[in-house]
């Protein structure tokens, strides 16, 4: 009986890297704030939840907006992708906007939640005074560093986005809160300065924690539009 012919080796099919959505936390928060979002992304998308550079307790340097945005430039090389999308809340939204303005070819989409466009000076001053009175041990128990927080507040006092919104050319969703109607006006003003931006108001504050289901649904819809159609990963 003739022996079976050996089968030729099948060429390996290299697996295409997942698309990446980077979640950026707010000033007085940590990457754990996104725990309800990381498992809710559609197929083909992978979450990253880095610390904002200068906000991690062990970081030697204090927060700087430009440095935090520049730190994201290593993501394509580290994860084998050409570009990535970003979802940022508060301070994280400001970093996301700066990154997309500086490197438009690297950022494929933006979700800006309660972006810090023009923080009220009086409120910021009150918050800073309250922070100075907060014991370091209490902040450390929340994995927060007092000096980094104070430095971030100093940056917010002089925050000027310049023409960054006009430099962003990727699809963008600006999310405001129905709990604070004033954020809707700020969101509309920011979106009007961008080339391809829409707005959405969601309940609660912060929205991703107050109503994770509604927030996650908005993220899934937005990523579907980046893909071309929901469920299409090509």
In a domain? residue 169: yes
pLDDT confidence band for 229 (50 / 70 / 90):
very low
In a domain? residue 233: no
Task: Work out how many domains the chain is built from and give that number.
Answer: 1
Residue-number span of the structural domain to which 69 is assigned: 19-227
Render pLDDT for 150-159 as a digit per residue (tens, 0 to 9). Answer: 888 887 777 7
> Domain of 150: which CATH number?
3.40.50.1820
**pLDDT at residue 119, as a whole number:** 54
In a domain? residue 68: yes
In a domain? residue 14: no
In a domain? residue 13: no
**14 pLDDT more than 70:** no
Contact (Cβ atoms closer than 8 angstroms) between residue 164 and residue 101: yes
Percent of the chain at pLDDT above 90? 59
Contact (Cβ atoms closer than 8 angstroms) between residue 184 and residue 201: yes
In a domain? residue 39: yes
Render pLDDT for 91-118 as a digit per residue (tens, 0 to 9). Answer: 999 999 999 999 999 999 999 999 875 4
Percent of the chain at pLDDT above 70? 87
Contact (Cβ atoms closer than 8 angstroms) between residue 124 and residue 153: yes
């Amino acid at each position: 009986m003739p022996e079976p012919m050996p089968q030729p080796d099948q060429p390996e099919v290299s697996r295409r890297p997942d698309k990446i959505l980077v979640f950026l936390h707010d000033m007085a928060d940590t990457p754990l704030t996104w725990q309800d979002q990381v498992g809710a992304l559609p197929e083909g998308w992978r979450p990253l939840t880095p610390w904002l550079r200068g906000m991690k307790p062990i970081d030697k340097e204090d927060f700087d907006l430009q440095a935090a945005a520049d730190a994201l430039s290593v993501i394509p090389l580290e994860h084998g992708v050409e570009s990535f999308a970003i979802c940022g809340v508060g301070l994280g939204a400001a970093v996301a906007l700066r990154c997309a303005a500086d490197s438009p070819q690297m950022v494929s989409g933006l979700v800006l939640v309660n972006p810090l466009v023009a923080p009220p000076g009086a409120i910021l001053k009150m918050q800073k005074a309250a922070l100075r009175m907060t014991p370091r041990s209490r902040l450390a128990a929340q994995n927060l560093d007092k000096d980094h927080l104070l430095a971030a507040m100093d940056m917010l006092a002089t925050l000027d986005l310049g023409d960054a919104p006009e430099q962003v050319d990727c699809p963008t969703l600006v999310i405001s809160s129905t709990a604070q109607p004033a954020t809707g006006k700020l969101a509309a003003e920011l979106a009007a300065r961008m080339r391809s931006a829409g707005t959405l108001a969601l309940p609660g504050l912060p929205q991703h924690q107050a109503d994770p289901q509604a927030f996650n649904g908005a993220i899934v819809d937005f990523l579907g539009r980046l893909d071309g159609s929901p469920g299409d990963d090509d």
